Amino acid sequence: EAEVAQSPRYKITEKSQAVAFWCDPISGHATLYWYRQILGQGPELLVQFQDESVVDDSQLPKDRFSAERLKGVDSTLKIQPAELGDSAMYLCASSLDLWTRASGANVLTFGAGSRLTVL
């Protein structure tokens, strides 16, 4: 069964350091998502890509977070500098490009996530 790959699974860093997360979506999935999930809460969308283009980054703290999907396949999410409040699970997901269809019924496939702890 196809999976969304994420790495690293766990990352511990000190505040002010740089952190990067990588995601490889399911082959053929045009849409890629990065969500942040604070412990005990629901996932919050940080950025959404359609192929290599950003379609929504309204909740991405752009002063310290950046995301790219250069070739429209895998993606990297970076935090620089990391702050204590960034401690969370960073989830990557992908879906077929169904947003432009009348159904708009996109089902997301998630990776296992990258757990970040900032000390």
Partner 1 sequence: SQQGEEDPQALSIQEGENATMNCSYKTSINNLQWYRQNSGRGLVHLILIRSNEREKHSGRLRVTLDTSKKSSSLLITASRAADTASYFCATVIQGAQKLVFGQGTRLTINP
Binding site for partner 1 (CB under 8 A): 4, 33, 35, 41-45, 48, 55-56, 59, 89, 91, 93, 99, 103-113, 115
- Cα distance between residue 116 and residue 89, in whole Å: 6
3-class secondary structure, 84: helix
The nearest distance, CB 108 to partner 1, in angstroms, is 6
The identity of residue 35, as a single letter, is Y
The verdict on whether omega for the bond into residue 8 sits within 30 degrees of 0, i.e. cis, is: yes
Closer by beta carbon to partner 1, 81 or else 98: 98
Closer by beta carbon to partner 1, 28 or else 104: 104
The identity of residue 104, as a single letter, is G
The nearest distance, CB 40 to partner 1, in angstroms, is 8
Token reading at 45: 């969308």
Closer by beta carbon to partner 1, 45 or else 73: 45
